[in-house]
Amino acid sequence: MMKKMLVIGDGNSVFVKDFIHQYSKQGVIIDLISLGKAEKNQAVKVQKNFQFKSGFGLSSIKNFFNFRNSIIEQMDNDYDVVVIHFIYFFLAPHIFKLKNKTKKIVSVVWGSDYYRVNSGLKIFLQDIIYKNSHSIVFTNPKTKEVFAQTKKHIHTQLEVARFGLPVLDEIEQLKEHNYIELCNDFNLPNNKIKIMVGYNANLAHEQLLIIDQVSNFNENLLDKIHLIFLLGYGSSESKLLIEQALTKNKHINYTILEEFYDFHEVAKLRLITDILINIQPTDQFSGSMQETLYAGGWILTGAWLPYEMLMKLEPKIILMKDKNEVGKKLTLLIENNAKSSLENTEEVKGYIKTESSWENNISIWNKIVFSD
């Protein structure tokens, strides 16, 4: 008999799209509740989009009942599993309704939904979801460990499973790429050190701090580099602030990329990125970081992020203890002409392939979502 799955999450997220794609390929019947305005995903049978309103006003109360009656009630009652991608605290009052529709609920912690929530009420509501899940999945053992220590009152089964990264296969297929052509595809210079500043428009990536510090570089350094801002994902307010900061600093060479790229285009971008800066406050194991390392690029990142396992392989990662060191560390990389290359990457590539290919991860997920 065919398996049935209900996915709840942001239908625009590449991770959610790819998760659905992997299970659709296996012949699983999938329905999607997308918490946002996602386009119809061709791999799902039924898709319902919904935007939550927080607060306690009349419109929020109407919104609450609308979600229950027009969304949850309208979904089937015989799912093998409901997979919640990202722990949205406002799902808590609906969790019992969802439990009635499925054999099991699997909640997937993305990192920011766990680390960045500090409101007592939101934590209380998230805990209701955790307690009523059959399994809670983390994408790295470190976060699972922290969760187990801080939430001893939650006795749900804790698991570790990574999302596969289809971009890795695309990078392999582009092995014989023409570097200049790839640069031209994005209108990027081929003779500069290309620095990717974060990987979306969320200001947690500290784009404004980085722009500020780079603006103090001397002319010689500025002439060697080209900054890249991927702003296809994130709020328009954040994009505007980044654009304004760049307009003020006329000596910085930069490109803003605002498209949503498919895996093939992302792979091209990884192959021409020399340095990726990832200094957000929390992160589980960034796919963008893994892809950049896999393609031979350098990473400038925070020592506070959970990458201990990776560091044993001596990857091209420069750690800093404080985000304000970013300009100083970046200067060293530029002075040492840190360019993307496949030198000394075999061990790191092998590790990332094992940890983050769907080929190696789908069986782990299958066990979590479908075993009794």
Express each pLDDT in 139-185 by its tens digit: 888 889 999 999 999 999 999 998 899 899 899 999 888 999 999 99
Instruction: State residue 256's pLDDT score.
Output: 95
- pLDDT band, very low/low/confident/very high, at 284 (cuts 50, 70, 90): low
Q: In what order do the strands lie in the sheet with 81-85?
A: 47-49, 29-34, 4-9, 81-85, 105-108, 135-138, 157-160
Highest mean pLDDT among 185-194, 195-204, 244-253, 350-359: 185-194
pLDDT at 308 over 90: no
- Closest Cα partner for 338 from 285, 293, 291? 293
Q: What percent of the chain has pLDDT over 90?
A: 71
Q: Which fold has domain 4-164+357-370?
A: Rossmann fold (3.40.50)
> Which of residues 143 and 76 earns the better pLDDT score?
76
Every domain range in the chain assigned CATH 3.40.50.2000: 4-164+357-370, 166-355
Lowest mean pLDDT across 14-18, 26-30, 305-309, 351-355: 305-309
Question: How many angstroms separate the CA atoms of 143 and 4, rounded?
Answer: 29
Crossing angle, helix 358-370 and helix 346-356, to 10 degrees?
Answer: 30
CATH architecture type of domain 166-355: 3-Layer(aba) Sandwich (3.40)
Instruction: State residue 304's pLDDT score.
Output: 80
Contacts of 121 (CB under 8 A, 6+ apart): 89
pLDDT at 224 over 80: yes
pLDDT at 206 over 80: yes
Instruction: State residue 314's pLDDT score.
Output: 85
Lowest mean pLDDT across 5-14, 76-85, 217-226, 353-362: 353-362
Residue 340: its H or E element: none
> Which of residues 175 and 11 earns the better pLDDT score?
11
CB 269 within 8 A of CB 291: no
